[in-house]
Structures are given as structure tokens and as C-alpha cells.
Amino acid sequence: MSEVAYQPSMLDLTAAAPSLDPLGGRLRRHELSRGAWVDHLPGWVNGSDAIFDLLLREVPWRAERRRMYDNEVDVPRLLCWYGPDRPLPHTLLTEARTVLTRHYAAELGEPFVTAGMCLYRSGRDSVAWHGDTHGRSAHSDTMVAIVSFGSPRSLLLRPRGGGASLRFPLGHGDLVVMGGSCQRTWEHAVPKTSRPVGPRVSVQFRPAGVA
Ligand SMILES: O=C(O)CCC(=O)C(=O)O
């Protein structure tokens, strides 16, 4: 983690205990094509510094490798998976999952249960274009809710099969929810950047059987 240069007080100067803004009212829905949508709420989490600091220090981040043609390459970010029974590293994340489950209950019809975490150490870390199509999301509508901490990065979305991409800025404490058919009919990516950015942690809440 030598690339992780992080100064907590530079990001969120509210020293208050972490808290969540109400979701009602400010959450803005962007309807995409083919039954996909994205909800976006900048600054959902207040006091994000404490959470970000804890995530950087306490999450047992793991480097992974993946096959690419005939080679094995490093996955360009660190990862950690919290299954349904694994306690989350900060109570505010548990609260966030409960609030999201309650807010989307009528539309989603099931709780958010897992939390995938990614650490982008610098602008060289990224995730390539993909949809979360392992499991039920390959054929059914679902939701993936992302809470972002640390340096701002862009989440890009583009329709599968081609089309203009959309950019959602993901800043410290921001919420993005990809819903409807988004995982099967659109793809998303966090591209590398040559800007000198610090670390970013993404926390993705998903229902059971969606990955
Ligand atoms: O960094 C993010 O917020 C997106 C992560 C993502 O797309 C994934 O892990 O599947």
C-alpha cells in the first residue's frame, strides 16, 4: 500500500460522528435506456473521513490475479468481500445497508445483504467495462448500491453493444445505485486517470445471489 497517500482532514472537514442524510427528496433518478436507471446522491454520508480512515486501515485488503489470454495479470485494485454473515467494519455501513434496504423495499423486494469492497490505491487502479452479471443479475432486474469514500473518481456507464457513455462523479460519501436492467443492458467502468488522485474505497451493496 505504498501508493496510498491519504490525509483525512483534507477531505471532509466535519469532525462530527458519521451520519447519513435522508434519502427521500435529494436522491435523483436518471432513466437510461432499456429499463436501466441510476440513482445518484452526492454527499449522502456526513463525516466520511472516520469511515474512510478505518476502511483503509482495518479491511484485510487482498491483491488478486486474473487470467488474460495466456497470461495471469494483477487485478488493478485491492479487494475484500463481506458475505451476509460477516460483520461490516463500521456501524454506519450496517446502517447504510439497512436504510437502502428500507428505501428500495417496494422496488427491489429483497434486502441488500453483501458488501463488496474495492480499494483504488491511485489513478493507476481501475475497473474495466463490465456488468455485474454473475448470478441472478444475468437474467433478472436487480440493484447494486455503491457508496464511495476518498478521492473522487468517475463511474462511466455505456449501453451494451455501443452508444455514448455517461459519467457520474463519485466523491467522498456519495451514493450511486444502478437499478432495473442496468447490469445486463449497460456496462460500467472506473477508468484509470493520469490526474494525481489519492486512494478511493468503493463499497457495493448487493442482494443475495448477485455479483
Ligand atoms: O468502484 C466502483 O465503485 C465500481 C466497482 C465495480 O464496478 C465492481 O466492483 O463491479
- What is the residue-level pLDDT of the chain in tens, covering all 211 positions? 445 555 554 555 556 789 999 998 899 999 999 999 999 999 999 999 999 999 999 999 999 998 888 889 999 999 999 999 999 999 999 999 999 999 999 999 999 999 999 999 999 999 999 999 988 888 899 999 999 999 999 999 999 999 999 999 999 999 999 999 999 999 999 999 999 999 999 999 999 999 8
Ligand 1 contact, 12 CB (< 6 A): no
Helix (H, G, I), strand (E, B) or coil at 114: strand
**What number does the ligand 1 atom closest to the CA of 170 have?**
3
Asked whether residue 11 is domain-assigned, the answer is no
- Domain with 64 in it: 27-206
Asked whether residue 71 is domain-assigned, the answer is yes
CATH (domain of 85): 2.60.120.590
Ligand 1 contact, 151 CB (< 6 A): no
Ligand 1 centroid to residue 126 C-alpha, Å: 9
* Burial bucket for residue 66 (CB in 10 Å: 0-12, 13-18, 19+): exposed
Mutation probe of ligand 1 site: the residue of 170, 187, 203, 204 with most atoms within 8 A of C-beta: 204
Domain count, the chain: 1
Asked whether residue 100 is domain-assigned, the answer is yes
Neighbour count for residue 177 (Cβ, 10 Å): 25
pTM: 0.92
Nearest one of 179, 206, 211, 200 to 11, comparing CA atoms: 200
Close Cβ partners of 174 (under 8 Å, ≥ 6 residues apart): 40, 41, 42, 43, 44, 147, 148
Which grid cell sits at 199? 486512494
Asked whether residue 13 is domain-assigned, the answer is no
Helix (H, G, I), strand (E, B) or coil at 165: coil
HSE value, Cβ hemisphere, 13 Å, CA-based, for 36: 20
Ligand 1 centroid to residue 127 C-alpha, Å: 7
Distance CA 200, CA 14 (A): 19
Asked whether residue 17 is domain-assigned, the answer is no
Ligand 1 contact, 173 CB (< 6 A): no
Ligand 1 contact, 142 CB (< 6 A): no
